[in-house]
Amino acid sequence: MEIITSAQNPKIKNLLLLQEKSKARREQGLFVVEGRRELQHCLEAGFQVHTLFVCPEIAGQDGNEVMSGTDRASVIEIPEQLYRKVAYRESTEGILAEVEYKSLSLEDLVLPENPLVMVLESVEKPGNLGAVLRSADAARADAVLLCDPLTDLFNPNLIRASIGAVFTVPTVACSSEEAIAFLEARGIQILTAQLQDSSLYYNVDMTRGTALVMGTESTGLTDVWRKAASAHIRIPMLGRLDSLNVSVSAAILLFEAVRQRQG
Mean pLDDT, range 169-184, rounded to an integer:
96
Give tens-digit pLDDT for 123-159: 888 999 999 999 999 999 999 999 988 888 899 989 9
Query: Where are the domain boundaries for CATH 3.30.1330.30 in the chain?
Result: 2-100
Return the CATH fold of 2-100: 60s Ribosomal Protein L30; Chain: A; (3.30.1330)
Instruction: Give DSSP secondary structure letters for 66-122.
Output: HHHT-TTSEEEE--HHHHHHH-SSS-STTEEEEEE-----GGG----SS-EEEEEES
Residue 99 has pLDDT above 80, yes or no: yes
Give tens-digit pLDDT for 29-78: 999 999 888 898 999 999 999 999 999 888 876 556 666 656 678 999 99
pTM for the whole structure: 0.90
**What number does CATH give the domain 106-262?**
3.40.1280.10
Query: Where are the domain boundaries for CATH 3.40.1280.10 in the chain?
Result: 106-262
Mean pLDDT, range 215-233, rounded to an integer:
88
